[in-house]
Amino acid sequence: MSNTYQIINFYEFKHLGGAEDLAKLKPRLRDSLFNFNIFGTIIIAAEGFNASLCGLPENIGPFIAEVESILETVIDPKSSFHESSPFRKHEVRIKPEIVTLKREVDISLGIGTHIDPKDWNNVISDPEVLLIDTRNDYEFHTGTFRNAINPSTAKFSDLPEFVENELDPAKHKKVAMFCTGGIRCEKFAPYMRAKGFTTVYQLSGGILKYLEVVPENEQLWDGECFVFDERVTLDASLNKGDGPDRSLRHHDQTEAKSFPK
Q: What is residue 35's DSSP assignment? A: H
Out of 54, 179, 185, 225, which one is annotated catalytic?
Answer: 179
CATH architecture of the domain with range 107-234: 3-Layer(aba) Sandwich (3.40)
Closest CA to 140 of 190, 191, 178, 102: 178
Specify whether the CB–CB gap between 224 and 243 falls below 8 A: yes
Third-level CATH fold of 5-98? Alpha-Beta Plaits (3.30.70)
Cβ burial of 123 (10 Å; 0-12, 13-18, 19+) is middle
Catalytic annotation on 54?
Answer: no
- Residue ranges, comma separated, of all CATH 3.30.70.100 domains in the chain are 5-98
In the chain, which residues fall in CATH 3.40.250.10? Answer: 107-234
Given CA atoms 32, 12, 153, 140 in this order, what sign does their dihedral have? positive
pLDDT digits (tens, 9 = 90+) for 60-84: 999 999 999 999 999 999 999 999 9
Kindly report, residue by residue over 190-237, the tens digit of the pLDDT. Answer: 999 999 999 999 999 999 999 999 999 999 999 999 998 889 999 999
Q: For residues 221 and 143, give the distance between their C-alpha atoms in angstroms, rounded to a whole number.
A: 7
Secondary structure (DSSP) of 146-203: TT-B----SSGGGHHHHHHHH--TTT--EEEEE-SSSHHHHHHHHHHHHTT--EEEEE
Q: What is the pLDDT of residues 91-134, one digit of tens each?
A: 999 999 999 999 999 999 999 999 999 999 999 999 999 999 99
- Rounded to two decimals, the pTM is 0.87
Which of 64, 56, 63, 59 is CA-nearest to residue 82? 56
